A and B are shown apart, each in its own frame.
Chain A
Amino acid sequence: MKKNPTPSMARKLSQEMPRPDPRHPSRQSRTRGQAVTRSVDGPAVRESDLQRHSLLSFFELSKELDYSLNIYDFADRALFNFMGHLGTPHSALWILPPEATGSLVLIRSHGIPESVARQIGMQCIETLVDRLLRDRRIQFRDDLSDIFTPADLELLRSRGLALFAPLLAPDKLLGVVALGTRQNTAADPFEIEVLQASAEFFAVALQNSMFYHQLQESVRELRQANENLQELDRAKNEFVSNMHHELRTPVTVMQMYAESLLEEAVAGSSQREHLKIVLQQTEKLKRMLENLLDYSGLAGNRIEVQSGPGDISALLRDYYDNRRNGVAARLHDFRLVLEDDLPAVIFEPRRMRQVLDILLDNAMRFTPQGARITLRAHRLPDDPAMVRIQMEDNGPGIAADKLHKLFVPFLQVDGSLTREKNGLGLGLALANRLVQAMGGKILAASEIDRGTTFTLLLPIA
């Protein structure tokens, strides 16, 4: 899935690079180092040394990107490489969401505070998108006075950002990388040429990675949809079971009174014949109810949970590893914060994963792209018998008067916070039942514009 460096570039590298000593791989680097130590800040810096450094950076990048990495790891690896390539402490990367409806999403920034990088994304980079699509080349800040306002230019200058590299797929722009340049020495045209190639290579790898993780996520969603259908089937069975019990009682009472009246009715009277018909029909109704119950197979309708003591840290870490890339593919920054040495907790692993899936999917569904979702676990200082697990997001939050509706089946909290809200409204109700069945509790807290936190309290073994 990787794009390899072009043969012409490889030839150029092999001509310019000193041959490595197979017995001492590091010796090549030392040779390279000795060649430039005399050029500290001086004019004697050899152009070929910078060019060699550029090509090496490109080749290092080709080894560092693996399609299984998620978008945030990809961004880090590429940005660190680009920073070391050009020698700048400033960088940022924004992605255009795949559905192309939203605005740029900041993935990572280094040497620039996150809030400022978001502002730059909205204020400057969005206006640059058309130019990058048109020219398909790295653009320099100081050549963009026709599209940037003096305020934009000042903002970019103050944060040390000097050039913008498009991340291009064949037919669209995937994202934009912004970089500074090193102080006092302008970047060599060859370095920029190699950086352009690096950005193109990175874009292909990034797109492959996004496809891979979107596919993985689709498979998981199908699996999840199947589990939800099973859950729906169980809910239907429960409904049928309840209806059966509710209907059977009045039918039995009707049957008893009809029998009693039949015993008192005069033989051969039309009243007796009518009562016989009533009895036949009530008997038929009872049989239908029994059949309905048999058909639904309701004997084991209750949710079965087999809880036992287990290592909750291991489960959460494993869960995080499994879901992290898929979540990142949907442009959500998923993080894990675990307290060291958590004690064993009572739970059932399969059901616990099911609860976490519900909470995480819920967080993704009701927060905008680029939002952060944090899974935390720690002990409760004021309750030594419980461990607290939280799924926390920094999304738009839920109004206090709607929080109590969250765990009611078939209800969804409606309103402006919904980005997309597919679903039946069963998830949180099911999570609530599962956690209770494991001997725990589930709570929700939220603040408008600050985010929502679901808290699971599980008993320590």
Chain B
Amino acid sequence: MSRPSGNSEGSRPRPKPAGSSREILAGDFKMSDGKRRGSLMLLELSGRLDGRAAQLVQQRCAELRAQGMHVLGLDLSQVTFLASSGLGVFLAETEEFKEAKGSLHLIAVSSVVSSVVNLLNVGRFLSLVPSVDDLVVGKGSR
């Protein structure tokens, strides 16, 4: 389903800029501004990925897709908690990126993330990649 553009936050909590221009904070959750590596845009997520943080991730994904970035990597090595909504956003966004002829990759997932992924047996729906380098040289597992 197509999504609103990045400007359409509506009544959702506005991301709070900190440090760099687009770094986003919500509680102890942090999402980096994003680094480009070739066609890949890499965002680093850290802290608790609860429902509100999941909304911020979803909005950022939608923004990037709207800007024409179709290969997105989320570095989850520093994520300390993954709510169901967080996992739901990963599943939904993976489908959204596929529909836009792109791909979403979850990179270096922390033990917390992998435990939820394994518990629910959803690994086959997601692209889990051990490191950015694996992804850049095309060794990512699906």
Against B, the Cβ 8 Å flags (1 = close, 0 = not) of A54-98 are 001100110110001110110011011111111111010000000
- Are the C-beta atoms of A89 and B95 separated by less than 8 Å? yes
- Are the C-beta atoms of A84 and B85 separated by less than 8 Å? yes
Q: How many interface residues does chain B have, given as a range?
A: 35 or more
Interface segment out of the listed A8-16, A33-41, A264-272: A33-41
Interface residue tally for chain A (C-beta within 8 Å): 63
- Are the C-beta atoms of B124 and A84 separated by less than 8 Å? no
Residues of chain B with a CB closer than 8 A to A26's CB:
48, 80-81, 112
Q: How far is the CA of A337 from the CA of B6 in the complex (A)?
A: 8
Known: A33-B115, A81-B85, A336-B4. A87 touches B51 (CB 8 A): no
Nearest Cβ distance between residue B69 and chain A, in whole angstroms? 16
Whether a CB of chain B sits under 8 angstroms from the CB of A117 is yes
Whether a CB of chain A sits under 8 angstroms from the CB of B135 is no
Q: How far is the CA of A167 from the CA of B7 in the complex (A)?
A: 30
- Are the C-beta atoms of B84 and A336 separated by less than 8 Å? no
- Are the C-beta atoms of B58 and A76 separated by less than 8 Å? yes
Q: How far is the CA of A324 from the CA of B7 in the complex (A)?
A: 13
Whether a CB of chain A sits under 8 angstroms from the CB of B88 is yes
Against A, the Cβ 8 Å flags (1 = close, 0 = not) of B40-69 are 000000001011101100100000000000
Q: How far is the CA of A41 from the CA of B119 in the complex (A)?
A: 8
Interface segment out of the listed A107-115, A119-127, A347-355, A426-434: A107-115
Known: A64-B51, A69-B11, A80-B92. A336 touches B5 (CB 8 A): yes
Residues of chain B with a CB closer than 8 A to A85's CB:
84, 88
Instruction: Give the interface centre of B88, B89, B95, B112 by most chain A CB atoms within 10 Å.
Output: B88
Residues of chain A with a CB closer than 8 A to B118's CB:
36-37, 39-41
- Are the C-beta atoms of B85 and A60 separated by less than 8 Å? yes
Partner of A45, one of B50, B51, B88, B119: B119
Whether a CB of chain A sits under 8 angstroms from the CB of B114 is yes
Nearest Cβ distance between residue A443 and chain B, in whole angstroms? 23
- Are the C-beta atoms of A89 and B112 separated by less than 8 Å? no
- Are the C-beta atoms of A81 and B88 separated by less than 8 Å? yes
Whether a CB of chain B sits under 8 angstroms from the CB of A358 is no
Residues of chain A with a CB closer than 8 A to B58's CB:
76, 80
Whether a CB of chain B sits under 8 angstroms from the CB of A220 is no
- Are the C-beta atoms of A80 and B111 separated by less than 8 Å? no
- Are the C-beta atoms of B112 and A49 separated by less than 8 Å? no
- Are the C-beta atoms of B112 and A79 separated by less than 8 Å? no
Against A, the Cβ 8 Å flags (1 = close, 0 = not) of B70-99 are 000000000011111111110110111001
- Are the C-beta atoms of A53 and B119 separated by less than 8 Å? yes
Against B, the Cβ 8 Å flags (1 = close, 0 = not) of A18-56 are 000000011001101111110111000100011001001
Known: A50-B119, A53-B84, A84-B88. A70 touches B10 (CB 8 A): yes
- Are the C-beta atoms of B10 and A320 separated by less than 8 Å? yes
Whether a CB of chain B sits under 8 angstroms from the CB of A325 is yes
User: For the complex, would chain A's binding face be called helix, strand, loop or mixed by DSSP majority?
Assistant: helix
Nearest Cβ distance between residue A81 and chain B, in whole angstroms? 5
Whether a CB of chain B sits under 8 angstroms from the CB of A321 is yes
Nearest Cβ distance between residue A394 and chain B, in whole angstroms? 11
Instruction: Give the interface centre of A87, A91, A317, A325 by most chain B CB atoms within 10 Å.
Output: A87
Known: A60-B51, A77-B85, A110-B92. A87 touches B122 (CB 8 A): yes
Nearest Cβ distance between residue A39 and chain B, in whole angstroms? 6
Residue of B nearest to A337 (CB): B5
Whether a CB of chain B sits under 8 angstroms from the CB of A158 is no
Whether a CB of chain A sits under 8 angstroms from the CB of B137 is no
Q: How far is the CA of A47 from the CA of B114 in the complex (A)?
A: 18
- Are the C-beta atoms of B4 and A77 separated by less than 8 Å? no
Residues of chain A with a CB closer than 8 A to B92's CB:
79-80, 83, 89, 91, 110-111
Whether a CB of chain B sits under 8 angstroms from the CB of A284 is no
Whether a CB of chain B sits under 8 angstroms from the CB of A405 is no
Whether a CB of chain B sits under 8 angstroms from the CB of A338 is yes
Nearest Cβ distance between residue B9 and chain A, in whole angstroms? 8
Instruction: Give the interface centre of B50, B81, B83, B114 by most chain A CB atoms within 10 Å.
Output: B83
Partner of A33, one of B11, B114, B120: B114
Residue of B nearest to A89 (CB): B91
- Are the C-beta atoms of B11 and A80 separated by less than 8 Å? no
Q: How far is the CA of A442 from the CA of B55 in the complex (A)?
A: 37
Whether a CB of chain B sits under 8 angstroms from the CB of A234 is no
Whether a CB of chain B sits under 8 angstroms from the CB of A286 is no
Interface segment out of the listed A181-189, A241-249, A250-258: A181-189
- Are the C-beta atoms of B8 and A114 separated by less than 8 Å? no
What are some 24 contacts across the A-B interface (CB < 8 A)?
A29-B80, A29-B81, A30-B80, A30-B112, A36-B115, A36-B119, A37-B114, A37-B118, A41-B121, A53-B120, A60-B83, A60-B84, A64-B50, A64-B52, A84-B88, A87-B122, A91-B92, A110-B95, A111-B95, A113-B99, A183-B125, A317-B7, A320-B8, A336-B7
> When A and B form their complex, which 10 residue pairs have the shortest distance between CB atoms, in order from nearest?
A84-B84, A87-B120, A33-B115, A80-B88, A64-B51, A83-B88, A84-B87, A26-B80, A84-B88, A57-B84
Residue numbers of B with Cβ under 8 A of A are 1-2, 4-5, 7-8, 10-12, 48, 50-52, 54-55, 58, 80-89, 91-92, 94-96, 99, 111-112, 114-116, 118-125
Q: A30-B80, A337-B7 are in contact. List 4 more A-B contacts (CB 8 A).
A: A33-B114, A77-B55, A89-B95, A324-B10
